[in-house]
């Protein structure tokens, strides 16, 4: 199919035709692309239900197209390439002249290259088995949903989406299209994943009622003027950049250097702030294995430097989760900002300063810790501390850890990584450990947090109806702003 790349419509006529045809159903039979019909293997759960189809033969390499090849996207390419299970077939980036992009183009000079992912899919549909998405948060959704609708396996950087509704659609799409899905939460395939799972199953981590999670490093927007009321004045668009495609579903903004190359993280319209950037790496494990799901209340108890356009200089947010079966209610408190450290109990370890201004935690005298990123998990009998990404937990204080040493269960020691797990899943040899059914709800928690930051107000969330009940504007923001004209069809693919 050839693209007529009508920028005003956002999606070409041939793609419209494909979308409509692939969505047709006849009774209980779904009309699907031909590469589904010739899938070499199927994966089923223990009840015999189909989990995944259209996998690559184990003897083959996975043909991967990379969308977003500069900065983090380029790093992701390296991770995929090192596994030895992938064969790159196409490169796509809206700015083929960017310094980081040029590095990857020099490494793979003979590969087809595209500025528009829609054109890439039109011209190379049959050559592509899987897609990596290493683009800004707000642009994950359209690339991912189109790839899935065409039967492509997808690896998407965290957080999964910028809005609650987009994650909801991708969770639904994963069930519908049954391709391998992986959100880039690298620690989810390492030792901390297996340790947390084993410690929960053995009852070592139990009756958790409170967790603190923090990221206190300097962010790109720290030090900005928090009184600004509009986006920066537009600048000339670089000759090498396709600015219209960069904007994708987002409402129009004039080009400015502070909207691209990582600066997009600063703005509510494009990124998810410190919470979305680091939350997945820190909440990993406890959100899944404590079965937290979605909160019923999100309260921004402290916002420093509030601005409706970009993220605060510091935030403290309480996420309240209800009782789940026999598991007690849990409050997870998130801290970000350079001078907004979480309280820690006595015996935490190195890097703490005593403070009489910090309240007690579970009856323990508290201190403040100048740690860059991490978590503290408070159970009924034991307290655990951990850092971020693939770091494992330890029991605190040290004397308690010594007492428990002989009682701790063994756990699987990981010999793989996130990229390998994804590619082997494409071949039907493994299941993704961070699929959208796991990563989607986690990302939705973060979107609720960023909405609380943006509006600087407490949100009451109905977990069953998935609605915010105390704030009309916030409830509308679950959907996000309407997509630009011509991009609406992406939201109909699930």
- Which tens digits make up the pLDDT trace of 20-39? 444 433 333 333 333 333 34
Q: Is the dihedral of CA 193, 194, 197, 199 positive or negative?
A: negative
Give the per-residue pLDDT at 348. Answer: 87
Give the per-residue pLDDT at 357. Answer: 40
Neighbours of 61 (CB within 10 A): 17
Lowest mean pLDDT among 7-11, 78-82, 113-117, 370-374: 7-11
Identify the CA nearest to 142 among candidates 94, 89, 101, 187. 94
Structure confidence at residue 349 as a pLDDT band (50, 70, 90): confident
In tens, the pLDDT along 407-454 reads 999 999 998 899 999 999 999 999 999 999 999 999 999 999 999 999
Whether pLDDT at 46 is above 80 = no
In tens, the pLDDT along 222-276 reads 999 999 999 999 999 999 999 999 999 999 999 999 999 999 999 999 999 999 9
Please tell us whether the domain made up of 189-414+447-475 is placed in CATH 3.30.360: yes
pTM given for the model: 0.87
Q: What whole-number percentage of the chain has pLDDT above 90? A: 77
- What ranges do the domains of the chain cover? 13-186+420-434+483-492, 189-414+447-475
Give the per-residue pLDDT at 54. Answer: 53
Lowest mean pLDDT among 232-236, 371-375, 475-479: 371-375
Q: Mean per-residue pLDDT for 343-366?
A: 58
CATH topology assigned to domain 13-186+420-434+483-492:
Rossmann fold (3.40.50)
- Non-local (6+) Cβ contacts of 355 within 8 A are 343, 366, 367, 368
Give the per-residue pLDDT at 344. Answer: 87
CA-to-CA dists, residue 268 to 6, 162, 315, 452, angstroms: 28, 9, 14, 11
What's the mean per-residue pLDDT of the chain? 88
In tens, the pLDDT along 146-190 reads 999 999 999 999 999 999 999 999 999 999 999 999 999 988 889
Give the per-residue pLDDT at 358. Answer: 42
Whether pLDDT at 58 is above 70 = no
453-476 burial, b if ≥16 CB within 10 A, otherwise e? bbbebbbbbeeeeeebeebeebbe
Rounded distance between C-alpha atoms, residue 165 and residue 416, angstroms: 32
Whether pLDDT at 204 is above 90 = yes
Give the per-residue pLDDT at 39. Answer: 43
Rounded distance between C-alpha atoms, residue 156 and residue 254, angstroms: 26
In tens, the pLDDT along 94-111 reads 999 988 899 999 999 999
């Amino acid at each position: 199919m050839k693209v007529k790349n009508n920028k005003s419509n956002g999606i070409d006529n041939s793609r419209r035709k494909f979308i409509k045809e692939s969505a047709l159903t006849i009774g209980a039979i779904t009309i699907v692309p031909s590469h589904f019909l010739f899938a070499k293997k199927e994966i089923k759960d223990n009840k015999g239900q189909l989990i995944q189809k259209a996998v690559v033969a184990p003897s083959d390499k996975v043909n991967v197209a990379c969308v977003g090849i500069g900065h983090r996207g380029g790093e992701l390419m390296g991770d995929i390439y090192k596994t030895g299970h992938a064969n790159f077939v196409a490169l796509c980036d809206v700015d083929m002249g960017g310094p980081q992009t040029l590095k990857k183009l020099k490494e793979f000079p003979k590969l087809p290259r595209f500025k528009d992912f829609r054109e890439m899919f039109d011209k190379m549909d049959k050559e592509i088995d899987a897609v990596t998405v290493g683009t800004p948060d707000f642009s994950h959704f359209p690339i991912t949903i189109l790839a899935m609708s065409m039967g492509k396996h997808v690896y998407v950087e965290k957080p999964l989406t910028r809005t609650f509704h987009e994650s909801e659609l991708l969770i639904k799409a994963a069930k519908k299209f049954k391709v391998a899905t992986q959100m880039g939460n690298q620690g989810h395939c390492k030792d901390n994943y297996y340790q947390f799972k084993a410690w929960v199953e053995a009852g070592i981590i139990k009756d958790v009622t409170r967790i603190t999670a923090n990221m206190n490093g300097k962010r790109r927007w720290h030090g900005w003027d928090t009184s600004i009321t509009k986006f920066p004045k537009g600048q000339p668009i670089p000759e090498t950049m396709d600015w219209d495609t960069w904007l994708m579903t987002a409402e129009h903004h004039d080009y400015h250097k502070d909207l691209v190359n990582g600066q997009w993280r600063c703005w509510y319209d494009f990124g998810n702030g410190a919470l979305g950037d680091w939350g997945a790496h820190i909440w990993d494990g406890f959100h899944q294995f404590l079965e937290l799901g979605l909160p019923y209340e999100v309260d921004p108890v402290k916002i420093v430097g509030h601005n409706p356009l970009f993220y605060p200089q510091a935030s403290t947010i309480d996420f309240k989760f209800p009782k789940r079966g026999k598991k007690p209610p849990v409050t997870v408190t998130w801290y970000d900002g350079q001078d907004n450290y979480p309280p820690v109990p006595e015996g935490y370890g190195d890097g703490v300063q005593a403070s009489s201004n910090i309240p007690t935690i579970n009856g323990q005298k508290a201190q403040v810790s100048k740690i860059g990123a991490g978590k503290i998990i408070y159970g009924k009998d034991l307290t655990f501390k951990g850092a971020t990404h693939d770091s494992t937990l330890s029991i605190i204080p040290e004397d308690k850890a010594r007492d428990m040493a002989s009682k701790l269960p063994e756990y699987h020691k990981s010999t793989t990584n996130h990229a390998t797990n994804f590619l082997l899943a494409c071949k039907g040899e493994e299941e993704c450990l961070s699929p959208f059914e796991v990563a989607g709800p986690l990302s939705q928690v973060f979107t609720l947090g960023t909405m609380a930051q943006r509006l600087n107000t407490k949100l009451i969330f109905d977990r069953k109806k998935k609605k915010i009940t105390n704030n009309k504007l916030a409830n509308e923001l679950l959907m996000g702003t309407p997509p630009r004209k011509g991009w609406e069809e992406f939201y109909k693919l699930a």
